[in-house]
Amino acid sequence: MPLLSNVRVDIGRLMARIETLGEIGALSGGGVCRLALTPEDGAGRDLVTGWMRELGLDVSVDRIGNVWGIRPGKADGAPVLLGSHIDTVATGGLYDGALGVLAGLEVIACLNDADIETEYPIAVAFFTNEEGSRFAPDMMGSAVHQGSLALEEALVVVGIDGSKVGEELEAIGYAGEVALATLSPSAFVELHVEQGPVLEREDIRIGAVTGVQGISWTEYTLTGVSNHAGTTPMAFRCDAGLVAAEAIVAARKAAGEIGGTQVATVGALTLEPNLVNVVPEKAVFTVDLRNTEEDALKRAEAQVAEAIHEAAGAEGVTVTSRRLARFEPVEFDARVISLVERCAKDRALSVRRMPSGAGHDAQMFAPYCPTAMIFVPSRDGLSHNIHEYTAPDQIEAGAQVLLDVTLALASPDAGTKP
Ligand SMILES: [Zn+2]
């Protein structure tokens, strides 16, 4: 049975909200900067929370500053949760995060207009500090909410500007009183821009996201001997820079050999003393490895580490390392993934299954309730970039699928069982 309802999203209303939120923290060349818990983030929160109240939602703020609004259903019970985040990186676009929250509000507006009472409640939420640009770790609000990060630990995190999470929450008026995990959804669906090039390149309208890649970040420090570039024969060098270069090649090679979804990046590298005529004594670099399969990710970690130690041994360089981040891959719920696919097909929208290359709030909920994500294309695959762009018709398609999926989950007996 098709899931089509007569309810259609109003793309004009949704785009107006995206643009209005995008004016807060707007950068002169385009894009936005609303780093978590800054006054700009506070102003964005006030705007969105105001819209929640206008739509009749019952708004709550928890102790880590996550905000949600609930639209009641016929029955009490756990709500179907829609949402994402409204904080951005320093050079953010208008869509990353904001789309999932504002499309959630569009779903509510549509249901209000059509006077539809769903069987179960629907909640729209935004989570604190998803980006992690000002305060580490990222996905902080959803991690604290779901218990994988302690509140006390999160509140004392010091940001890049010396500020503290707890104090900044107070300063912007979002140190809420509601106990953590009060919001316990029956399902979570997050609409998000892809932030990669796959949908655009394949000319596909909707991504039914199957899960989130596992992420492994390691920082390596290599220590050799700095010496004169002219007088030190090659055979007598302990060149930390050479080993760093071999590490970069080893990371690329590991990705190629492991194949599948494996990616590998050395994105940060510094040499000391970093001078034209001195053999580098020290190299500090990061290795970012990602895979949807935990076993393969572990193989990549081992292969890169072994190659670095081998190269260091041959050059007489010592190696130390520390883990910066490690998340296992997350699998989304098979039934909700299928529901996203069905809803897209019923609207004659091309759809493909795909993993997410980036972390999202949804992954924190996946172990606890049926969870999935909907992706829409990102032009040129750009994100965390002021030129991030998704066209209104693509946003409309994603928001419509979100609406259809929500109706199926919140009124499962209306002939729309997932
Ligand atoms: Zn995001």
What are the residues whose beta carbon lies below 5 Å from ligand 1 (ion)? 96-97
Tell how far the Cα of 64 is from the centroid of ligand 1, in angstroms: 18
Mean pLDDT within 369-383 = 97
Tens of pLDDT along 77-114? Answer: 999 999 999 999 999 999 999 999 999 999 999 999 99
Average pLDDT over residues 125-129: 98
Q: Do 82 and 402 form a contact (C-beta atoms < 8 A)?
A: yes
Nearest CA-CA partner of 398 in 221, 207, 231, 215: 207
Residues 6+ apart with CB under 8 A from 355: 209, 210, 211, 212, 213, 261, 292
β partners of residue 222: 283, 319
Ligand 1: centre distance to CA 131 (Å): 7
In angstroms, the first-to-last Cα distance of the chain is: 11
pLDDT computed for residue 309 by the predictor: 98
Least Cα distance to 126 among 37, 8, 13, 16 occurs for 37
Is the pLDDT score of 1 beyond 50?
Answer: no
Structure-derived torsion over alpha carbons of residues 223, 226, 231, 236, reported in degrees to the nearest 10:
-20
Instruction: Find the 322 Cα to ligand 1 centroid distance in Å.
Output: 26
Alpha helices in 38-186 (DSSP H): 39-54, 98-113, 140-145, 151-155, 165-171
- For residue 18, report the distance from its CA to the centre of ligand 1, in Å: 14
Separation of CA 133 and ligand 1 centre (Å): 12
**Which of the four pLDDT bands, split at 50, 70 and 90, describes residue 414?**
low
The predicted pLDDT at position 324 comes to 85
CA of 63 relative to ligand 1 center, distance in Å: 21
pLDDT at 417 over 80: no
CA distance 361 to 126: 9
CA separation, residue 413 to residues 106, 116, 349 (Å):
23, 14, 25
Chain centroid offset of residue 271 CA = 31
The contacts of residue 343 (CB under 8 Å, 6+ apart) are 3, 401, 404, 405, 408
Please confirm whether the linkage preceding 273 is cis (ω < 30° from 0).
yes
Q: Looking at the predicted structure, is the pLDDT value of residue 327 above 90?
A: no
pLDDT in tens, 277-287: 999 999 999 99
Burial of 391 (0-12, 13-18, 19+ CB in 10 A): exposed
What's the distance, CA 253 to chain centroid? 27
d(CA 52, CA 154): 26
How far, in Å, is the centroid of ligand 1 from the Cα of 7? 27
How many Å lie between the centroid of ligand 1 and the Cα of residue 130? Answer: 7
Å from CA of 171 to ligand 1 middle: 24
Largest CA distance in the chain: 83
